[in-house]
Amino acid sequence: MAAAFAGAVPGGCAGTNNGNGGAAGENGAAGGNGAGGDKTGAGGATGGTAGSGGSTPGTGGGSPPGTGGAATGSGGGVGAGGRSGTGGAGAGGAAATGGSSGGGTGGNGGNGGNGGSTGGNGPEVWVSPTGSDTNAGTQAAPFLTIQHAQGAITAGGTIWVMAGTYQYDRTVNLSLAGSANNVTRLWAVPGGARPVLDFSQQARNVSSNRGFTVPGSYWHLKGFEVKNAGDNCINISGSNNTVEWVEADGCDDTGIQITASGSGTGSNNLILNCDAHDNFDTATGGENADGIDAKLNIGPGNILRGCRSWNNADDGYDLFGVTQVVTIDGCWAIANGQTSTGMKGANSDGNGFKLGGNGVPAVHVVTRSFAVGNVKCGYTLNNNTATPDVSDSGALANNPDTCSITIRNRVTITMTAAQAIAAQRDANGNLPAVQ
């Protein structure tokens, strides 16, 4: 961090009359923002040294001379800590210059830079496809399995998933219970290739053979692919969890499913910027393998946002039997009803957004979402005894676009299914604008 410099303070000029008042000191330049890093960061360094006010008095005339600048410039503030990576060091502002003759006050120094956002507060461990659970779990000597890594941290810790393909034959059960101030992170290491967690060694058509189960709370999963599990890729029965920028594909049931294990469970979960595709359940003839679900007796507050679901055997999104309101915002449902290789079961439905079922009421909210090229309905009520609120959304080339659903402020789109599937997310995982 560059040090701030003290202001230069010239004396006042002589005069026949009273000395002129000093010019006001210049403000210090603002401190630069701290750069975010890749791990939990310390706060930014303290800002720059305070600038000195003017000191030399002006040479007065017959009356008293002008005085130097009065106040000194203050240093920059302390930079805040970061969620990911090392918080940036905040650069303090340049010191203020004092007044040239009497009366002026010194300017204030700039503020210190800010670090990244707040985040994981606990210990950190690493896993790698070439690691071993007998290792220390450091970046240089990582563990092999996520399950073992979980036992080495406490709530609020971080498990860093290094690039490569992991071959797992058993379910990873994320059971730690955290809090709003102790979110446990399972994150791909930023900047590298997306890690792949392959569960193809599991037996298919076995309901307990899921890739991940999440009965815990305040977990944040981010940045990897889960594939080929014998049931769900990811099954969430806990509350206050986030699954972000995860790809779930090739599993023998729904890709990502929020469910309930008891009263009040499965609440306040966020599925953010995720992709789910090519999930197919052989045992039930394609009846259950959706892309992303929030179904059955889940609690309130679940949100699906910025997600994309395509070529799943059954539906894109399924809210079957839910009495609590689920919010779907900015999601796409594409070509559901068969896989990308043409696999279609005898019981495959092929709806884009299935917004109910089992004859129970829930006014689900769907906004800014799009259904393209699904085998059956783009949006369907599906025996919901209430009327979901679908607005600012669009549909194209479904069969038909809506089934007992009205879209308020319907948006016209031209994007084909192939274009929607091929669309690239940005560096933060966000989908592009719909055409």
Among all residues, which ones are annotated catalytic?
354
Tell me the Cα Rg of the chain: 30
φ, ψ dihedrals at 77, nearest 5° = -75, 170
Q: Provide the CA 144 distance to its chain's centre, in angstroms.
A: 25
Query: For residues 245 and 368, what is the distance between their CA atoms, to the nearest angstrom?
Result: 19
Can you state the percent helix, strand and coil of the chain, rounding each to 5? 5, 20, 75
CB distance 20 to 66 below 8 Å? yes
CB distance 131 to 149 below 8 Å? no
SS3 146: helix
Q: Which of these, 404, 313, 421, lies nearest to 357 by C-alpha position? A: 404
Strand order, beta sheet including 332-334 = 165-167, 196-198, 225-227, 247-249, 275-277, 308-310, 332-334, 370-372, 394-396
C-alpha separations of 407 from 32, 330, 353, 410 in Å = 47, 14, 12, 5
H-helix segments, 100-251: 146-150
Q: The tokens 């330049």 sit on which residue?
A: 29
A 10 A CB-CB count for 80 gives: 20
CB distance 394 to 420 below 8 Å? no
Q: Provide the CA 197 distance to its chain's centre, in angstroms.
A: 20
Please give the angle made by the CA atoms of 150, 193 and 121, to the nearest 5 degrees: 35
CB distance 314 to 289 below 8 Å? yes
